[in-house]
Structure 1
Amino acid sequence: AGKVSPVIQWDESRLQQAPAGTPVRIAYMLVVHGRAIRQLKRLIKAVYHEQHFFYIHVDKRSNYLHREALELAQHYPNIRVTPWRMVTIWGGASLLKMYLRSMKDLLELAEWPWDFFINLSATDYPTRTNEELVMFLSKYRDKNFLKSHGRDNARFIKKQGLDRLFHECDSHMWRLGERHIPEGIVVDGGSDWFSLTRSFVEYVVYAKDQLVSQLRQFYTYTLLPAESFFHTVLENSHACETLVDNNLRVTNWNRKLGCKCQYKHIVDWCGCSPNDFKPQDFLRLQQLSRPTFFARKFESTVNQEVLEILDTHLYGDYPPNTPALKAYWENVYDRIDGLSGLSDVTLTFYTAFSRLGLRRAAAAPAPKAEKLCRFEPQGFPSSVHLYFYDDRFQGYLVMQEVQNSATGQAESLEVWMMPQGALKLADHGGQTNRLQNLEVGTEWDPKERLFRNFGGLMGPFDEPVAMQKWSRGPNLTATVVWIDPTYVIATSYDITVDAEAEFTQYKPPLNRPLRPGVWTIRLLQFWELLGESQFLVVPQTFNRKQPLRKGE
C-alpha cells in the first residue's frame, strides 16, 4: 500500500539509556470543548513540564471553558490559548482547518522551540511519565507516529465516505453526492490522534507543491478529514519513510456499544466513538505489545477512580488526607453566559432549587430577635454545578446571589439539592430476582449505559426512557407499567429479557404533555412485582426563558 512502517517496540530494560542529543521538546495541542475545566486541569497537571509547550483551542460554543482556560494560561509562560476560535464539529472539515491554523501559529512562535506536535483532547490521559515519553521520542526524533486503519484501502474508502462529497454548513456535514478519489496517490487514514515531527508540520503548512495544495482542497470537502489528510500527505511525500504505524495511544474501542450512529444529528453518515475507561480496563492501559503513552477516553462524570489509579501508578500515592480526592464538580450553567444554553425545564428546576434553599434557610431555628436567615433572591442563580463523590452523582450545587432582609447586605447562598432514592426491589423469599436497577430519565447514552441528564430533570414535554439493569439468569418476560400522578395507568408493555442481557431500555408511547407530579413505574413478572421506582415531572414555570403568565 506504499507504507513504510518500521517495527518499534517498547523496551523497558533500555529505559535508562539516554539517547544522544538534546531531549526533544513537545508542543501539546489541546483541542477541548464542553465545560469540564477540572478534567482539563487534571490532564495538564499530569503532562505538564516547563520544557514543553501547551496550546489550547476551545470550541467557539464553549465560552465558560474558554474563560477558565484563559485564566489558567495567565499563570504559565508555556501555556497559551488560541486568540481565535472555531466551531469544530465531529467529522467536520473545520477540525482539519483548526489543526492547520494551530500548526502555523506554533511554527511562528519563535520563543517556543518545539520538536514534536502532539494533539490531545480533555478526555485523554497519559499512561507513562514525561521522562519515558521524552526518552522515547528523543530516540526516534525523525519519526512520525500515525495509526492506520489496518484494512484494505478500498474498504476503508467506502467505510470512511472518502468517495462522497461533503460540505460543512451550519455546524453540520451535508452529503452532496459521489466523487472520484484523486489518481496516482495512495489514500490512507485511521486515527486523528498523532505525534508529528516539526519538519513534517513545516512541510504540511508551508509547502507549495501540488501534492499538499490539491490534498488540502480535496479534504476541505471530506468527512472526517483529520483522520486521513496527514496520513495521505505523509505516505505520498518525500518523508514517507518516517511513518510509524502507531499513534502512541490506547483507545478503548467497543464497537458493539460505540457504533450506534450517535452523530446522525451532526453528519449525514454513521460513525463510531470509543468507550470510557473504567477500573476494570486498567490492564489494557499497561499493554506492552507496542509503545503507548496516552489513552482515551476518560470522563470524570462517568468514572474518576480509573484516573486515581493511573495517577498512583505513575506518580505514587497521594499525600494522606488529600482533600476532595474522590469528589468532582462540573459546571452546567454560569450566569455570564446568559440563559441561551438552558431549556425551560432546566431553568424551572434551577430557580426552584434556589427558592427551596431560601425557604429552608428561613425555616432554620434562630433566636426570635434575629432574622439573619431571611433572604431575597437577586435575579437568576449565578451558577449551577453537578456534584459527584466516589463516582456517584450527589446532586446539584446552586449558587444564588441574595440580599439579607435584616441587614440589606449582599450575600451568596449555596444550595445542595440531592436526589432522593426511589428504587424498591422485591424480595421473592429466597428466589433470585434478576432485576438490579430500574431508572427513568432522558438523554440515555447507549455507549456508557447511563442517563446524561443527571438527576433526571424532566418536564411535561420530555420523552422519558425506562432503563432496567439485570443480572444473568433464565430468559424472562416482564411487564412495564407507567402510572401517572393521579394513579391512572398511562401505558404498559411487555419486554423480553435474554439470559445474557445486562441492560434493556425502551421509550414508551406516552401522550404529551405529561401530567406534572410524581410518576411511578412498576416492573412485573406474572403480575408479581419485581421492582418499582418513581420520578418527578415538574410543571414548567418558564416559556422561551420568560416566566409563564396566566392563561399560557
Structure 2
Amino acid sequence: MVGNPCGRKLARRFKSALIAALTVLLVQTLIVWNFSSLDTGEEASEWANSSRGKRNQVGAFNKAYSQYPRSVLPRKQHQPPLGKATVRHKQPKVYHSRRPKEKLLLESNNNENSVPKDFDSVVDSNSNLGPRPQHQRPEGNAPMNKLATAQTKSILGKALPNEINKVIKVIKQYPLSPPQQPRWVGLNNSHTHKPHRPNPQLSTNPAKLSSPSSIQTSYQHQRHHQTRKSATALPVLGQRRERHQCEISGKEAISALSRAKSRGCRQQIVEVYCRHKERALMPETVPRYCPLEGKTNVNVQWNEDLEQAVPSDPVRIAFVLVVHGRASRQFQRLFKAIYHISHYYYIHVDQRSNYLHRQVMALASQYSNVRVTSWRMSTIWGGASLLTMYLRSMEDLLSMADWKWDFFINLSAADYPIRTNVQLVGFLSKYREMNFIKSHGRDNARFIRKQGLDRLFFECDTHMWRLGDRKIPEGIMVDGGSDWFVLNRMFVDYIINSPDELVVSMKRFYTYTLLPAESFFHTVLENSIHCESLVDNNLRITNWNRKLGCKCQYKHIVDWCGCSPNDFKPQDLPRFQQTSRPTFFARKFEASVNQEIVTQLDSFLFGPYPQGTPGLQSYWENVYDETDTVAILSDSQLTHYHAFTRMGLAHAATSLQGHPDDHRCRYVSRGYPVSVHLYFLSDVFQGYLVRQHVSNLATSQLETLETWVTPSNHFTLAPETSTLNRLQFAEVGTEWDAKERIFRNFGSLLGPMDEPVAMQRWGRGQNITVTVVWVDPTNVIAATYDILVEGGAEYTHYRPPLNLPLRPGVWTVRVLNHWNLLASTSFVVSPLEYHHQKPIKHDDTVKFHSGPARNSYMEQSFHGLNPILNLPVHLGQVEEAELNASLTGAELQGWVDRLLAGVWSAADVCSPGPSACPVMQRCQETGWSAFSPDPKSELGPPQRNGRIRFMHVINSIEQGLILFTLPTRGFDQGTSDPQGQSHTDFTETAVTNYYLSLSPRKLQTLSYTGFYGNMLTFVFTFKISEMLK
C-alpha cells in the first residue's frame, strides 16, 4: 500500500514547525532563566492556606475593586520567616501567605574580612521576611506560570542538552561588536581626561595604556635595567580572529549570558568560558620563591617612645586616595587631617562621580604634592577593576621621578586617622623594610571556599559574573584578607616590574577572581622573595558587625554575597583612644550617618575648635549640581525639587506683609534647579536646600535663591494601646540600608514607579506578631502581611511586591496586633510633572497616575478587610482620583503642591548674591545655607609646620598655666624653612598670633621652654579670673 504523498508532506511540515517552535521556546528560556537557576538551598516550610467567602460590596467599593481577581478572606497574607523563638518552642504556624514557597533570610555568621557567601541563597536585601516575586510593570512582561516554568526547566535540565548548546552556538555567531576596553582583560572602561599637571615622567604610550600585556605580560625590571617578556602572556579578549565554538553547559555561564546587557560583554563571557574550558586561561602551577616553609609573619609592637624618637631619615608616604560618591566635604576633612608637605597624594575618582571629580581637581590645583589620575575607572565592589586601578596607580607612582616616596598607603573617603602624622612617620621609619597587610587568620581551605577563589569570575558591564568552577594553581600558598594595606616601595616595584613567573601568573589568575584586591597582594607577598617582610597587620581598625553588615547588599553588582563594615558611632571613641596595637587609621566613617564621631576624633588628635566656631554641628552633602545635567535625576526627584522651589517663592512673597502691591519679593523660577544639598544638624536630617535661578517680578532681574524645606513626621501611636506594645517608630521609604538602618532616600521622595519599604523600630520585650496593612489614597487595601517580632529584635522591614504604578496621593500604613491598631504612618506618592526630564504629556499622566493595571496591586484582593478596618470606599474619592490622573500643566503643579504641602514646608529662603527684596537675607550669613561658613571642611595653604589642620592640644591646667605642645615639621628642628625662618621661631610666632586672635584679653605671657622629644613646648600664663569669664 502506497502512502498518501500529501500526508507525508504534512508530516514533514509538522516536524519542521515543531522543531522551530521548540527552538523558540529554548531561546526564550535562556532569557528568563536567570538567578533562579542558581538557587539550590532548602525551601521554606509550606505556607498554610485558610479561606473564607468574600464579601461583595456595591457602588464605589465595586468600582475600586472591580478589576481585582476574586479571592478569599484576608488572613491569607505574605509570610515572614519563622523566628528563632518560634522554632525553639515549636509554636504552631501563625503565618498565612498568598505567595509561593520561598527561602528564608538567614543571618550570616561568616568571619572573613569580605565575608562573602554563596550566591545560591541570595534573597531580597530590602526585606527581613523573604524574597519577593517580580512585580508587574505597566508594559506587561508577566512572569511565566508555574506549569510553564516547570516544563521549561524540565526540558532544559534533562531532555535536550545538545539542542541547548546548538542554540547558544547560534547566538554566538551573531556579529558582536568588539569590547572597548582600554587596558586589561574583562575590566570596566576607563576614561582619560586632560592631566591636571603635566608630568613628562608619566607613560603616555597609547599601546602601553591600551593593552593588557602592559601589566600581564611584559614588564620593565627597573632594578636591573633590562626588559624581559613573560612566557605566559594573556591574550586580549575580543581581538582573536577565530571564534570559540564550545558547548556552554554550565548553569552559571548560561545565567550570565542571559543577564548581560551589552553584546560586547556577552561575547567576552563566551571567550572567557571557552578558553577556561580549553584550559588556556588559568595557570596550573606557579613557582614559590619564599625560602621559608609555611606562613611568615613579623611581629611588631606599638611603642609610645616612638612618639619621642626623632628619625634621622623620616619616611615619605604616597597616599593613594580612592574616592567615589558626592561627599566632597567629608573628603576635604579627611584630606585636611592627613595632609603634610612631606608626603604625596595621588587621587583616583570613580568614573561615575563627576561632581566629586570636579571638586577634587579644584583641590589638587592648590597643592604641588597632590595629583589626580589622568584616567578614571568604574571600580565596583569585589570587581577586578579595583585591583587594576591599584596596579595602574602603582605604575604611575613609580614613573614619577620627582616623587621620592617610601611607602604606599591606600585610603578611601570613609577613612580617618586615629594617630598623628608624627606617630605614623616615626613608626614607619623604624620598620621601613616591612609590608603591613592583614590576613584572614583562619583555615585556608575555608577561606578559599568562602572567598570564592575556587570560582571563575569575569567583570564587564560594571558587574562581576560568576561563570563556573576552577582549580587553585599548585605550588603556592593562597592567602588573603583586607584590601587596605601599607606596602614599601621595594615590594611595589617588584609587583609592577618583576618578570618573575609568580607575579605574571598571579596577575593572570586574579584577573578572573572575585575580590582580587583582598588576596592578590597577600598571595604574591607570601610566596615571593619578600615573604620575610610580611607583617600581619594593616595598621587599621575596621568596624565589623557581621549581624548588620552581611545583608548581600552587593548582589546587584556581583554574583556573590558579601559583607561591609559599619560606620563608627560616638560610643566607639574609646576604641581609638585605648588601643595598644600599632593602628593609625580607622574605617568606616560617614558624615551623613554620624558626623559627631568624626568631630570627636578630630578633637582628640588636634584639639577642639574654639567655642563658637560656625558649622561644627552642621553637615552638607550635594545630591545634584547643574553641571551634572538633569539626566542624572529621576522624574520624581525633579518633580520634588521644582515643588520645593515653589514653596520657597511662596515663602519669600509673604515676607513683605502689609504691602500687597510691593512685588520686590515676588519671583518666577527659571529653568531647572542649580543645585540641591542634603542638610544635617547634630546628625539629624533637616531637609533639602534647593538653589534656583529666578526672575524678580518688580525689576525683571535674574537672581538666585536658595530654599530650605523641612519634612514633617506623620507617625502616630494609637491612643489606647497595650502596655506590651513595643513599637517605637515606623516609616516608609526607598533605598533602605539594612546595615546602617536608614533610608538612603532622605525624606522619602516617592513617585508612582518607586518600590517602597515599610520599616518598624521596636523596643525589647516579649515576642509579638503584628499585621501590617498598606492603604492607597482611595482606601483600597494594597497589601497586608504578618511579621513575627522576636523579643530582641530592634528593626523589621519589608517591601511588598506591589504592582506599579502606585496611585499618587496620601498612603497609610497601619500596624495592628490581633486587629487592634498599634500605630500608623502616612506618606505621599507624588504625581510626576516630568517624564524623561521633560514636562509630562497627557497620555503619560494617565499611564502613571491611574494606579496599577486593573486597579490590582497584587494578585489577590484584600477588600474583605475594609469593613474590619473601618475603611469605607467613597465614590467621590474614586472619581476625584480618576480626574486627577489626567491633569497636566498648572493644574498638575497645583495637585503636586497640595500633596507635598502636607509633608514638607519652607523653613527659610536666602540669596547668595544681591537681591531686590529688601528683607532677603544673605546665604553666607545664615547657619543653614550651603554657602554658610564651614571651617572644619575648608582648606587653606599649609602652615609653616607643613600641615593644614592646626594642632593645639591642652595637656594640663595647673596653677593658672596651660601647657600646649605642637609638632615640628618633619622632625628636623635644626633646619630652616624656605623663607629662612627657623622652625622654632615660626612655630612660636604662629602660636602667639593664633591665641592672641582668639582671646587677646586672656593671654598674659608667653614663654618658650624648648624641645621635649619631637614636640615644641610652650607655656601660656593666664589670669584665672579672665579664664572664668
TM-score range, shorter chain: over 0.9
CA contact (8 A) 2:721 2:822 kept: no
CA distance in 2: counterparts of 1:306 and 1:20, whole angstroms: 32
- The match for 1:530 is 822
Once the two structures are TM-superposed, the CA of residue 289 in structure 1 deviates from its matched residue by 4.6
Q: CA deviation at 1:284?
A: 2.6
Map Cα deviations across residues 121-151 of structure 1 (whole Å, 9 max, x no partner): 0001111111111111111111000000111
Worse overlay, 130-139 or 500-509 = 500-509
Number of residue pairs aligned between Structure 1 and Structure 2? 551
Deviation at 1:545, TM superposition (A): 1.9
Moved more, 327-336 or 431-440: 431-440
Hey, what's the Cα distance between the residues in 1 that align with 2:719 and 2:425?
58
2:672 equivalent in structure 1: 380
Contact 1:426 1:433 in 2 (8 A): no
Q: Which moved more, 1:430-439 or 1:188-197?
A: 430-439
The answer to whether residue 436 in structure 2 is matched with residue 145 in structure 1 is yes
The CA distance in 1 between the partners of 2:310 and 2:536, in whole Å, is 22
Correspondence 1:475 to 2:767: yes
2:307–2:422 CA contact under 8 A, matched in 1 = no
After TM superposition, give the deviation of residue 509 of structure 1 in Å: 4.2
1:85 aligns to what? 376
Query: Which segments of 5 or more consecutive residues in structure 1 lack a partner in the other structure?
Result: none
State the Cα distance separating 1:340 from its structure 2 match: 2.3
Higher strand residue share: 1
Asked if 1:248 corresponds to 2:539, the answer is: yes
TM-superposed CA distance for 1:427, in Å, is 4.7
Percent of residue pairs bearing the same amino acid type: 65
CA displacement 1:171-226 (0-9 Å, x = unmatched) = 01111222222221111111000000011111111112211111111111111111
Alignment partner, residue 352 of structure 2 = 61
Q: Does the 8 Å contact 1:19/1:138 carry over to 2?
A: no
How far residue 19 of structure 1 moved from its aligned partner, in angstroms, is 5.5
Of 462, 485, 500, the match for 2:777 = 485
Counterpart in the other structure of 1:507: 799
Aligned partners of 1:6 and 1:407: how far apart in 2? 74
Counterparts in 2 of 1:435 and 1:205: CA distance versus 1, 3 Å? same
Distance 1:16 1:297 in 2: 26
Q: For structure 2, list consecutive stretches of 5 or more residues without a partner in the other structure.
A: 1-292, 845-1029
Question: Paired residue for 1:132?
Answer: 423
Amino acid corresponding to residue 745 of structure 2 in structure 1:
N
Please state how far the C-alpha of 1:287 moved relative to its aligned partner: 4.7
| Distance (whole Å) between structure 2 residues aligned to residue 443 and residue 127 of structure 1 | 31
Q: Deviations over 1:27-72 (max 9, x none)?
A: 1100000001001001011111111111110001100000000001
Q: CA deviation at 1:168?
A: 1.0
Is 1:410 the counterpart of 2:702 in the alignment?
A: yes
Q: Look up the equivalent residue of 2:603 and give its one-letter code.
A: T
**Which structure 2 residues correspond to residues 357-436 of structure 1 after superposition, within 5 A?**
357-366=648-657, 367-428=659-720, 431=723, 433-436=725-728
Residue deviations 1:105-131 (CA, integer Å, cap 9, x gap): 112222221111100000011111111
Higher relative contact order (CA 8 A, sep 6+): 2
Q: Quick check: 1:2–1:235 contact (8 Å CA) kept in 2? A: no
**AA paired with 2:629?**
G
Partner of 2:486: 195
1:177 and 2:468 aligned: yes
Q: Give 1:483 shift.
A: 2.3
Q: Supply the distance in 2 between the matched residues of 1:382 and 1:540 (Cα, whole angstroms).
A: 20
Note the C-alpha offset of 1:307: 0.6
Higher fraction of helix: 2
Of 320, 329, 333, 2:611 maps to 320
CA distance 1:226–1:318, shift in 2 (3 Å): same
Residue aligned with 1:353, SS: helix
Deviations 1:252-278 (A, max 9, x none): 111111111111111111111111111
CA distance in 2, matches of 1:479, 1:156: 41
Contact 2:644/2:690 (8 A) holds in 1? yes
Deviation (angstroms), 1:512: 2.8
Which residue of 2 is the match for residue 100 of structure 1? 391
Distance in 2 of aligned mates of 1:133 and 1:297: 19
- Whether the 8 Å contact between 1:3 and 1:243 is mirrored in structure 2 is no
C-alpha separation in 1, matches of 2:514 and 2:630: 33
Once the 2 structures are TM-superposed, how far is the Cα of residue 16 of structure 1 from its aligned partner?
Answer: 3.7
Residues 442/276 of structure 1: CA separation in 2 closer, same or farther (3 Å cut): same
More displaced stretch, 456-465 vs 367-376? 367-376
SS in 1 for 2:646: helix
Distance apart, 1:428 and its partner CA: 4.5
Partner of 2:575: 284
Deviation at 1:540, TM superposition (A): 1.2
Equivalents in 2 of 1:103, 1:300: separation in Å? Answer: 30
Residue 753 (structure 2) aligns with: 461
1:110 aligns with 2:425: no
CA-based RMSD: 1.6
Q: Which moved more, 1:44-53 or 1:14-23?
A: 14-23
Q: Deviations over 1:217-263 (max 9, x none)?
A: 11111111111111111111111100000000011111111111111
Please say which of residues 429-438 and 289-298 is displaced more in the overlay: 429-438
Other structure's SS at 1:85 match = strand
**For 1:492 and 1:403, how far apart are their aligned partners in 2?**
48
Deviation (angstroms), 1:449 = 0.8
CA contact (8 A) 1:481 1:521 kept: yes
User: Given that residues 674 and 692 in structure 2 are in contact (C-alpha distance below 8 angstroms), is that contact kept between their aligned partners in structure 1?
Assistant: yes
Give distance in 1, aligned partners of 2:784 and 2:562: 34
Answering whether residue 725 of structure 2 is matched by residue 448 of structure 1, we say no
Aligned-residue offset at 1:361: 2.3
Q: Which one is further off, 15-24 or 3-12?
A: 15-24
Which AA in structure 2 matches 1:412? T
SS in structure 2 at match of 1:551: helix
Aligned equivalents of 2:467, 2:786: Cα separation in 1 = 42
1:545 aligns to 2:817 (yes or no): no
Superposed CA offset, 1:318-345 (max 9, x none): 1111111111111111111112221111
**Structure 1 residues 420 and 321, CA, compared in 2 at 3 Å: closer, same or farther?**
same
1:11 and 2:11 matched:
no
Distance of 2:609 and 2:837 partners within structure 1: 45
Matched, 1:301 2:592: yes
Mean Cα displacement is larger for which, 43-52 or 58-67? 43-52
- The 8 Å contact of residues 395 and 418 in structure 1, kept in 2 or not, is answered as yes
Look at both structures and tell me which one has the larger radius of gyration over its CA atoms.
2
Q: How many angstroms apart in 1 are the aligned matches of 2:318 and 2:747?
A: 39
Q: Deviations over 1:500-527 (max 9, x none)?
A: 1101111234343222111122222234
